[in-house]
Structure 1
Amino acid sequence: MQTRSLRTLVRVSKVGSFAKAAEQLNMTLSALSMQMKALETELGVDLFDRTVRPPRLTPIGRTIVEAATPLLQREDKLLDLCRPTDTLVGHFRIGFVTSAAVRLLPDFLKNAKRDAPQATFAFETGLSKVLQDKVVNGQLDAALVTDAEGVPDALSELVLREEPFVFAAHETLLVDGLTGLLSEQPFFHFMPNTGIGKLIAGEMLKHDRPKESETIVLDNLEAIMECVSAGLGFTLLPAPDVVRYRSAEVKSIQLPKASARKLVLATVRDGALAGREAALAALFSVDNA
């Protein structure tokens, strides 16, 4: 029996769907289904109840998952003993917080191709909280997230970069400086319920602004900067995002005591990547080329 089939079975049990498991394992749905059928034939039992959609584990299927999980963990530890601690070998599932993926993923792919030739990667983008939960439950091996409130206790974090927040506005709105922006202009706020959005909200509380002032909430950094470039209001974002999207007429205002967005690499404590966090973190470096 190959442990690969058991790993697939455990993955299906975690995500509750053949389709999601196939996507995460970089398999076609038909290939995953055939693999599960072959495992059932080999074991001589029905692992799934296929009279319902999506198929769900049978009692014996759940028992096999429970028995296979520690077996696979021991296999991982055995493989770890055979690998240098600074080498990335195997297939890794990495999450990127959406607001940073557009800037950092290209460099990651370039660095990985050169410096981690024995590793392959699958990627997922999303909100920091969602990605953290997926690392905790094993759906992702690691995730680059915004640390706004600390990561869960089950995870360790490695700070990759800190990006200071800056105000940005069209030069025509800066006649009265920051005071004029805060008192007279609409504010474009990136999703307040996200990690980065919570940091922005916290920074805005440090500045006096009339209660009746207009705030426009958007979920897209590029859309926010397009509105700012059109002279429709101002925003507060990490400096690299402002630089990436601003036009020549948009100016930024740096604050001496402004908070910063902290991007961290979150992994499971004592998990499969234990001892290799630095090797993975190096792939995020823009200076690694």
Structure 2
Amino acid sequence: MNDDARSEDSATTGGTPLLSSVELVSGYLPEVNILNGCNVHVDRGELVGIIGPNGAGKSTLIKTMFGLVPVSSGQVLLEDRDITGRAAHLLVADGLGYVPQNNNVFPSLTISENMEMGMYVRPKEFESRFRAVAELFPLLADRRAQRAGSLSGGERQVVAMGRALMTDPMVLFLDEPSAGLSPLMQDVVFEAVSKINDSGVSILMVEQNARQCLDISDRAYVLDQGRDAYTGTGEELASDPKVIELYLGTLARIDD
């Protein structure tokens, strides 16, 4: 994104973003950067999508913001507070939640036990939080004694998202929630994501299914080579000729 576009993007926030990355540089190995000055933000109540080609740094972005990848330079801000490099378990207490792409449920545990794992720091609040999350996803209460390993892929994603919601986060990071699912189950997951956002939780979602991601996103970013290359509303990006030409023709087949 050029400086003019970045300034215009910042001007649309109407104040301090709830969560933002500022010129974020990070990677898994010393001196090997995946992100190269990435700027994104999430306003309160927003659903923000992250799309882009293979290797663009999409998953690395949210892992870095959630304290799972070392930061070389730049900042992660929670409103005006610098949370750069803060440990993930402390970020959960700060109001952030994270659902990884893989291995995101405990298959040998029941749905109820998976939910309990989400409340290990506040076990006394389990029942009240479980009721609140189950209002969004009745499946969790209706089948709470069923082992997560016996669920469909889409149902497992609902359990994973439900567990992350147990701590009542302000912001939820989602890493490729539709990956590996059938088109029908993808629809289930995207509906669940929209429900979570409608309940008041801000969401930053990395997604391989670019078109469906843009359909439900308030705003979105296209990442390329570790930078925010384009940004706009979901509708704007979905109809942008350059984005369509460079990205949307192949993104449905790409996994970061």
User: Normalising to structure 2: TM-score of the pair?
Assistant: 0.25
Larger RCO (CA within 8 A; separation ≥ 6): 2
Q: Which has the larger radius of gyration?
A: 1
